[in-house]
Structure 1
């Protein structure tokens, strides 16, 4: 099975599919799945556009509405997570994940699904410490503050992901796990993205809880975006590695798409729910909070009997 990985989509879904079509014809290959690491901007109408956090001069309808209306159909199955420039009102309707249009599936605020024999997990949004411990309190219409806080990662989502015990093949996040740069060509990264250097040196680049999750679930691959640069890293574990790759945004001349081969993935080329994740979702639902204050979370050991 061949999988295309996209960095930041930034409302260029049609262009990404055209790029994939070009690659297939040029290389004489068939790509079976597209994974997008955020900022898809599933904008259906003007209300969705107004619910997207970005400067006004970037607010354009784009092309997603064509897929939503049925004018166009995604040519290959597509799975994506949310970033920090999304139509948050629409994605909140699909908190647990779901189809945003035919053939395009949103993984939810956090989630795990199966495709082709691979387990694919993901976490939407970006990390901001001040909102990390809060509940999912934001409601529509959003204020100048909540239009941003709604896409900030919450402890509750990390709590659920940390319950995973079965192997994960691929994990998606929008921002990077903290400290990931030390496992790749950090000098080159600082040279081509000089603005990142201060955060790298102060160990403030990325999500520290994603770093903990990385060492906990040890996925074979971890894909990310957000910083608009291609960066690869190899993170060692006892007896295995995680291969990390972040890609650029969809613009001419940028490294925004990568095709990888998964020859061992020989299952049905269709999406299915993940049994372990369903069990985790059911067991942890009692702690889900839609108020400002997040309900107290138990320890992982206390949750074992409910999940397993």
Structure 2
């Protein structure tokens, strides 16, 4: 399925960023030079969560990290404009984030110039390449709950706001066209069995303990892996480098592949779910996914940073409206038309707490009829694709206060929830209600640092 007419993709991947952008970009440049080229030759950099987009001191109080371990990090310089990301950077969220800022960009958007967040879940295009991502980590206690956390966060909110929700996974499961690259923070459950799990369990005995307790990795991510069948899946979270190859046959699901694996400990094999096939797009073709999990910044470089040529896009090559180049010779980031249609079809089921009363609206159900998706796909084509509106605007504006070293912030202080104009414009583009709308803050000067 590979096309010789599309350019090869050269990317870098980081596991957990932990707020160390200066170190990441400097190390990336050194690694590229060691390989005989510059970081400017890369198409983009991927960071698989724990990015820590902390704009100011108050954002630190929205991050699930013990107070004694919180640090401002480097991102505030990129947010304020004091520093510039030297390479297009695409990120998903993890479990140690300034969750209030990510919440503003639920549908995705620019965290800072040249740094794009995929949202709670999202799909974008880079030329012929289709990139999907799911943010956060899996916790079964909160998986079926709505997005009910709103500022000011209490202790429970800070620990639950980054948990993956079923609503966002279901939206990705509505995709019917193949995906080239998938990103997550935690690993898909049981993906370790497709690699050298014996060595992994010997190196990390607690991983085996978790696997035997049926709590290692994300089961929703496993479902997405079997459905999306991407050529590449990148993740972080586990603080170790690990590679695996998942091969799925036509007409069979990922659980069928798990049952065929050899050398799996019997106690672990007994926990595997029964093969059930798949009704997803993935069952229509054979696919091989190369999985790479990477560690956190601060470990040896080869553990947390990978520079790799991914070759040519194997699937999505016949889409000229995604192939406009920028002045640098790279591709623009574009919205994905199928994802836009899914977003329109599903927005009624998005449950967000009312900012005034914190009341969550009742769900209208999870299912979306195929006819509805077809109708929305037609709407997107007529109102967005045919009008040349697929390019993601580079319309970043710093709207929250920037770092103020003279400000004294105590652990109980919380920031305001700022209405993000990128989210408002995205909803306007799709002509859907903006469920994240808030009363406007007149100015950051009037609001001080937005204390609650």
TM-score (norm 1): 0.96
Conservation of the 8 A alpha-carbon contact between 2:32 and 2:307: no
Q: Distance in 1 between matches of 2:372 and 2:289?
A: 27
Displacement, 1:26? 1.6
Runs of 4+ deviating beyond 3 Å: 265-268, 291-295, 299-308
Change (3 A) 1:272 1:304: closer
Q: Distance in 1 between matches of 2:152 and 2:28?
A: 36
1:198 aligns with 2:209: yes
Q: Distance in 2 between matches of 1:257 and 1:74?
A: 17
Query: Which range is displaced more, 193-202 or 157-166?
Result: 193-202
Q: Distance in 2 between matches of 1:124 and 1:46?
A: 23
For residue 341 of structure 2, what is the aligned residue in structure 1? 279
1:57 aligns with 2:68: yes
Displacement, 1:47? 1.1
For residue 31 of structure 2, what is the aligned residue in structure 1? 23
- Structure 1: stretches of 5+ with no match in the other structure: none
Larger strand proportion, structure 1 or 2?
1
Q: Distance in 2 between matches of 1:301 and 1:209?
A: 22
Q: Distance in 1 between matches of 2:197 and 2:32?
A: 32
Displacement, 1:103? 0.2
1:128 aligns with 2:139: yes
Q: Select which of 161, 169, 182 maps to 1:150.
A: 161
For residue 71 of structure 1, what is the aligned residue in structure 2? 82
Q: Distance in 1 between matches of 2:333 and 2:115?
A: 10
Displacement, 1:304? 4.2
Displacement, 1:202? 3.2
The 3-state SS of whatever aligns with 1:54 is coil
Q: Select which of 256, 263, 269 maps to 2:311.
A: 263
Conservation of the 8 A alpha-carbon contact between 2:245 and 2:288: yes
Conservation of the 8 A alpha-carbon contact between 1:8 and 1:40: yes
Q: Distance in 2 between matches of 1:294 and 1:79?
A: 31
Query: Which range is displaced more, 194-203 or 183-192?
Result: 194-203
Displacement, 1:300? 6.0
Conservation of the 8 A alpha-carbon contact between 1:14 and 1:63: yes
Q: Distance in 2 between matches of 1:24 and 1:300?
A: 47
Q: Select which of 161, 166, 190 maps to 1:179.
A: 190
RMSD: 1.6
For residue 11 of structure 1, what is the aligned residue in structure 2? 19
Alignment of 1:88-237 (within 5 A): 88-237=99-248
For residue 350 of structure 2, what is the aligned residue in structure 1? 288
Conservation of the 8 A alpha-carbon contact between 1:231 and 1:245: yes
Q: Distance in 2 between matches of 1:139 and 1:295?
A: 21
Q: Distance in 1 between matches of 2:195 and 2:146?
A: 35
Q: Distance in 2 between matches of 1:302 and 1:128?
A: 32
Q: Distance in 2 between matches of 1:173 and 1:42?
A: 17
Conservation of the 8 A alpha-carbon contact between 1:179 and 1:203: no
